[in-house]
Amino acid sequence: MLEQSMKSFFMFLSQNKAMNHAAKKWGLKFGASQVVAGQTIDNAILKVKELNEKGLTCTVDHLGEFVESKEEAMESTEYCIKSIETIAESKVDCNLSLKMTQLGLDISYEFCLENMRRILNSANKHNIFVRIDMEDYAHCQQTLDMLAELRKEYNNVGTVIQAYLHRAEKDIEDLNGVPLRLVKGAYKESPEVAYQDKNKIDENYFRIIKQHLTNGSYTAIASHDHTIIEKVKKFVKENNIPKDLFEFQMLYGFRTNLQLQLVQEGYIVRVYVPFGKDWFGYFMRRMAERPQNVAFAVRGLTSK
């Protein structure tokens, strides 16, 4: 009960616009610097280089939420393009992840679509893959509709499917052949659209992993769950699925020893490296996912 209350509390904070806006002025606080790689793309690239040297590949994400004006969305679009150009200039092994609400999805679908085209044109020029992060359920269908539109023109784009949604299995079926990141899900959703029981979410998660892998589609398994990872390793071995058809993904600052262990075992491991001034919502969701992560915040408050 206490853990559920803490999860709800952190999810409430993650969606609080006033707190998010205030956090932009604070700098990285409460231990956030342990899981957010600085406030600029240059900060993030330094971390990416360190991770590449250890055999890890990466994806960077310029954090941003609650974009309310076209000016803000245009700034985010320009920063995504700048990030792509910096990745290319630095010659690091890295992709780009982004959220479409940051690019104006809540302002205008067509406006966001045009921003996405600009980003993908730059990414295509530099042979960089772009991952559209899945947000809350309210944006799920819009995200998939836009992905379908973009896939008519670009091959270097994919998205994320969340296992806690009842629709996940059908979405995987519809997205056969599309590179997907598969996750359990990090937003608070109603029982009408999402599983609430952890065991059911875990079961569905492994089910859609097997489904996409069996389809022969490139699959990114984004999880820190050791049990899930071991089940995937067993499944791909038993079904002769080559290691270059999938990768494990983990968050920057989490399970670093496990990341390196998987690399030593010959698996592709990609680290999700977030950066930016708009860090608060992301950090609060990490607290909500695993309340034991509060240790990050405690250390941040007590350290000098």
Q: Is 133 a catalytic residue?
A: yes
- Catalytic residue of the set 131, 171, 181, 278: 181
Spell out a b/e string for 288-302, using b for 16 or more CB atoms within 10 Å of the CB, else e.
bbebebeebbeebee
Q: Do the Cβ atoms of 48 and 260 come closer than 8 Å?
A: no
How many secondary structure helices (H) and strands (E) does the chain include?
12, 8
Q: Do the Cβ atoms of 11 and 288 come closer than 8 Å?
A: yes
Q: Do the Cβ atoms of 62 and 299 come closer than 8 Å?
A: no
Residue 137 half-sphere exposure, CB side, CA atoms within 13 Å?
16
- Catalytic residue of the set 61, 133, 171, 202: 133
What is d(CA 2, CA 32) in angstroms, rounded to the nearest whole number?
23
Q: Do the Cβ atoms of 73 and 112 come closer than 8 Å?
A: yes
Q: Is 118 a catalytic residue?
A: no
Catalytic residues: 133, 181
